[in-house]
Amino acid sequence: MADKNLMNDQELESVTGGEWRVVNTGDYRDAAIRSYAGLNAPVIATLPNGTQANATNNFQQADGRNWVYITAPVQGWIKGAILGYAY
């Protein structure tokens, strides 16, 4: 998948607020970033393990999972556990 929605370096430097967390799927797969919280939401981008993501304090539960909204390097929803959030 082409991640055309990812921010460039200059845009990333201007991101403020939130909390920077490291993507860790626990295996070889990239993390899916979705347009809204839930497994049926369209995937708008993917992030490889080790990528820094700026997580907001906007959390939702959907499909038996906890989701968090990220604002960088792309805007969208990711499973909270992938960013190390334990509920």
Residue 63 included in any domain: yes
Residue 55 included in any domain: yes
Residue 21 included in any domain: yes
Number of domains in the chain: 1
**CA 31, 45, 10, 71 torsion-angle sign:** negative
CATH at residue 49:
2.30.30
Predicted local confidence at residue 14, as pLDDT: 74
Predicted local confidence at residue 79, as pLDDT: 97
What are the tens digits of pLDDT across the range 1-37? 446 678 887 777 777 778 999 999 999 999 999 999 9
Predicted local confidence at residue 3, as pLDDT: 66
Residue 4 included in any domain: no
Indicate the pLDDT class of residue 77, thresholds 50, 70 and 90: very high
Q: Is residue 73 reached through a cis peptide bond, with omega within 30 degrees of 0 on the bond before it?
A: yes
- Domain interval for residue 75: 9-83
Residue 53 included in any domain: yes
Residue 1 included in any domain: no
